[in-house]
Amino acid sequence: MSPESYDSEQQFRLIVEAAPNGMLLVDESGTIVMVNTSALHQFGYEREEVLGKSVEMLIPGPFRSEHRQHRAGFIKAPETRSMGGGRELSGLRKDGSEFAVEIGLTPIQTTKGMRVVASIMDISERKRLEMQLRQAERLAELATLASGMAHEIGTPMNVILGRAEYLLQRTADKRMKKGLATIVTQVERITKVMNQLLVFARRKTPERRAVDLGEIVDDTLEMFQERIVQSRITVDKTIESSLPPV
């Protein structure tokens, strides 16, 4: 080996070792000929446990055969690209655990033949955050649905409850009273569930929007109409038609 070649190899090793991502240098047979400290930390190995071994030792068992085929195809048509063709990839640690990775492949021609530089990025944390984001989005959708259901079902339930209570107080028929009492109990049960849904839905960040006070008053009076009548309450409603949303 000439001094120039030696210096070039040393510089290459220094560059590989200094890389923040895990870096492997693999020969045409799939043997690991160089590995940096970051890769050793990612996979949990000592350097001597990896050098001279097949790169498939870092691939989960079910995918090793397929990886050998893809590796052979890459050697025949080498190009700089991402590994996996958009599929999710996993690395296999020494302790048997797996972790999500993104791998970039770069072929280089050396005096010893074709070599492939594999740059390995551990994306476990990113995947975890993406999962949390998806869960938050699903919960937000459920909260919106729950809020809509609670309002849509709550209004007619209150009307039914009010009228059932009104009839319950005015009928002497025992059979009718029993049936009406059942209606009251079940509607109260539904109302309780709806209130729980509303509590769940309101856990999200409050949203400010303009509302029509006239509509709110009308909806409220309709909801409690029967109870207002039962209690002999007189409501005098006067709403200016020009009242703007607030």
Residue ranges per structural domain of the chain:
3-122, 128-230
Range scoring the smallest mean pLDDT among 45-54, 90-99, 149-158, 193-202 = 193-202
Q: In whole angstroms, what separates CA 192 from the centre of its chain?
A: 30
Q: pLDDT at position 216, please?
A: 80
Q: Do the beta carbons of residue 90 and residue 66 sit within 8 Å?
A: no
Q: pLDDT at position 21, please?
A: 94
**pLDDT tens digit string along 69-109?**
999 999 999 999 999 877 899 999 999 999 999 999 999 98
Q: Measuring CA to CA, which residue among 151, 158, 168, 170 is closest to residue 221?
A: 158
In whole angstroms, what is the distance from residue 159 CA to residue 219 CA?
11
Range scoring the smallest mean pLDDT among 64-78, 132-146, 225-239 = 225-239
Structure tokens belonging to residue 147? 């809020």
Q: Which residue has the higher pLDDT, 45 or 163?
A: 45
Q: Do the beta carbons of residue 191 and residue 223 sit within 8 Å?
A: no
- CATH topology (fold) of 3-122: Beta-Lactamase (3.30.450)
Task: Band the pLDDT of 7: cuts 50, 70, 90.
Answer: low
Task: Band the pLDDT of 3: cuts 50, 70, 90.
Answer: very low
In whole angstroms, what is the distance from residue 194 CA to residue 7 CA?
75
Angle between helices 174-201 and 124-170 (to 10 degrees): 150
Give yes or no for residue 64 having a pLDDT over 60.
yes
